Structure 1
């Protein structure tokens, strides 16, 4: 999600798209899972062999650590509430990929594929290829000097070969086909590439660029299918305009949600959802489960009603001043200004939710779509 300083230009009406019914349903789902540590109950005779993850900083557990990029989180105060300390996760603790693997009963943590400590046993049950600041648009990763989505697929191919060499083709095919795949990216395309560089905006309006990126997303999913993936969950974009840094940048003197960004995020989500529907109806992908996972409204519920979920602060992050810091700007010098208890905050830094927020959101969203994976 590594959204570097950006500004969007588009009108937005919050009330027109966030109905009382949606709010009620989200509250019910989140309350049912709040503070629950129990793993999900899978349908009869269904098994999950592994969890493989692709995307950006929301699900990057440290693949960027040794890359020449500023999109890193392998230093304090990141990881301050994590048993292993700073690992490269853009969080004070766990990230959604860890919680998803735990919920599905696979394992407690999903390590970075490029972690030098990764062993065969880790590969057999899933790793993350995600790279902070990546996006569907190839220019997004290139500009940030991180691993592109196509590059992440190449790493997955390499991973499959390693597994085949160890356990044989037949068992590898079973591991790959029975695994859960999570794809979480897109925010950097709209914040970093479209609005913050001169490479796309002069040639594409918002609708045309959304179509362009949706095409890349569609191709990525088809390529992932070609490598054996069958259970794929695609996360949408969050309400970008309501994250602390974007309130600071475009929310005016009162730091309200930057509504133009939320408008764009909603439009982008509609295109990604359309990609899923198109692949289901137009393309022949036998045995594939493609699920669009909407994070926009559940996260917005936490932001608009923090007290209902045990939070005290939703407009600033815990790290530093909480107004803008993220990645290299959330660093050891930020520690004196950082909050003492991140569990009281919806956001850990200027862009990324806290571990507690992830632990509320992730099980709820997965449970809403559980049957669709099988």
Structure 2
């Protein structure tokens, strides 16, 4: 089915001189109009794809344990409401919205996504990954391919409202923000939930990269030109896996981190060739491995006092159970890099977002990189300012 989907969308849409935008409103509030407004921002909208690190509530109505629509989640968010975000406050995607001066992109499964179709959307789903079966052990989720299908559905809605040319301009100037792959490691390599676990790690990485490249090609063929792709963070340093390995020293699962580093190297080089093969493509790699690893190991350098223990959880490092009720919350969430057993805190997400927004792009992807490729990707800040109207 997906091969057919890719074949159908084979022609890039026609770019031109206009783009559509949305008026700035207070953070945490959705736009108050259903009419395509005049352009007021360099970037008219942002579209999010990925997993629980940026899911803003798509899983709320799904039969899954991968949900966060209950307290104490959201206790430090603008609305003090558990919206479905796996955080005590904002995720990196929310901070990027702030930096772009855009209203929060609503989860696509919410009524707001139908009401305000011009301001982007969040398709991310907790448990989802690059591979279709990733995260199925948790219950229903929206896989990477399914998220792309929803994006194409939104594209068709925009064409019906704006026409093909204006939709092309809108998608050309919008930013797509993709944070995926971590669950593919968590559920396939660490906990052995799928058949992919039997593959040698290099074959597994190749499977992920090949599948992901096909997904990016569909997005490009549908009109996307500005795309920020986050590398996978140091999965082996999450509190759950410190608890899982029963370490007494806070030692990360460095073998897994090495495999993730190799994936990141492959992803970075794949994006270089992707941009060379697709005219006008600006699909940029943004590294989070280094900053998350550094926060976990040297929290004091970032104003934290704890870099290995979840603020909300039980057991060693707070990694033995999910964050289920307010009584499990630590005294000072702002002092912790990790909010729960897998996800960074509100403050840590701000540090991550600032790195992907304007941080220096290293010539290699991670601290464990063996890549010799020299190539400097744009930051999201530079991507936002990029004028493609003449392209």
Q: Which residue of 1 aligns with 2:202?
A: 207
User: In the TM superposition, what is the alpha-carbon distance from 1:129 to its structure 2 partner?
Assistant: 0.3
The match for 1:363 is 354
Cα contact 1:134–1:141 (8 A) shared by 2: yes
- Could you tell me how far 1:355 is from its partner in structure 2? 0.8
Change (3 A) 1:316 1:94: same
TM score, norm. by length of structure 1: 0.81
Residue of structure 2 in register with 1:293 after alignment: 286
Q: Does 1:131 align with 2:121?
A: no
Whether 2:87 is the aligned partner of 1:91: answer yes
- What's the CA shift for 1:104? 1.7
Q: Does 1:275 align with 2:270?
A: yes
Q: Which residue of 1 aligns with 2:329?
A: 338
Alpha-carbon distance in structure 2 between the residues aligned to 1:295 and 1:325: 25
Aligned-pair CA distance for 1:317? 0.9
Task: Give the one of 230, 238, 260 matched to 1:235.
Answer: 230
Deviation at 1:171, TM superposition (A): 2.4
**2 CA distance for matches of 1:308 and 1:331?**
30
Q: Which sections of structure 1, spanning at least 5 residues, go unmatched?
A: 1-36, 38-44
C-alpha separation in 2, matches of 1:291 and 1:198 = 30
Cα distance in structure 2, aligned partners of 1:93 and 1:60: 13
Q: Note the C-alpha offset of 1:372.
A: 5.0
Q: CA deviation at 1:246?
A: 1.1
* Counterpart for residue 42 of structure 1: none
Residue number among 232, 241, 245 corresponding to 1:250 in the alignment: 245
Higher relative contact order (CA 8 A, sep 6+): 1
Counting only pairs closer than 5 Å after superposition, residues 111-260 of structure 1 correspond to structure 2 as 111-121=106-116, 123-144=117-138, 145-195=140-190, 196-202=192-198, 204-250=199-245, 252-260=247-255
> Could you tell me which residue of structure 2 aligns to residue 28 of structure 1?
none
In the alignment, the residues of structure 2 paired with residue 116 and residue 307 of structure 1 have an alpha-carbon distance, to the nearest angstrom, of 42
2:113 match: secondary structure: coil
Q: Is the 8 A contact 1:97 1:110 kept in 2?
A: no
Q: 4+ runs of 1 displaced by more than 6 Å?
A: none
Deviation of 1:97 after TM superposition, in Å, equals: 1.3
Secondary structure of 1:53 counterpart: strand
SS at match of 2:48: strand
CA positional deviation for 1:110? 2.3
- Give the distance between the partners of 1:198 and 1:172, measured in 2 at CA: 39
Q: Secondary structure at the match of 1:181?
A: strand
CA contact (8 A) 1:318 1:342 kept: yes
Corresponding residue for residue 302 of structure 2: 309
Give the structure 2 partner of residue 106 of structure 1. 102
Give the Cα separation in 1 of the matches to 2:358 and 2:280: 21
Task: Tell me which residue corresponds to 1:23.
Answer: none
Distance in 2 of aligned mates of 1:126 and 1:340: 36
Q: Render the CA deviation track for 1:231-290: whole Å, top value 9, x for unaligned.
A: 011101111111111111125233321212211211121121122122123x2x111101
Q: Distance in 2 between matches of 1:119 and 1:83?
A: 22
Partners of 1:65 and 1:72 within 8 A in 2 = yes
Q: Secondary structure at the match of 1:118?
A: helix
Structure-2 separation of matches of 1:353 and 1:299: 9
Aligned-partner SS, 2:122:
coil
Residue by residue, what CA displacement relative to the aligned partner does 1:86-128 show, whole Å, maximum 9, x if unpaired? 1111101111111112112222x2221111233443x212111
Q: TM-score, normalised by structure 2?
A: 0.78
Superposed displacement of residue 179, structure 1: 0.2
Q: Which runs of 5+ in 2 are unaligned?
A: 1-26, 28-39, 360-378, 387-391
Q: What is the RMSD computed on CA atoms of the aligned residues?
A: 2.0
What is the aligned residue count? 322
Does residue 319 of structure 2 align to residue 324 of structure 1? Answer: yes
Give me the whole-angstrom Cα distance separating, in 2, the residues matched to 1:243 and 1:140. Answer: 18
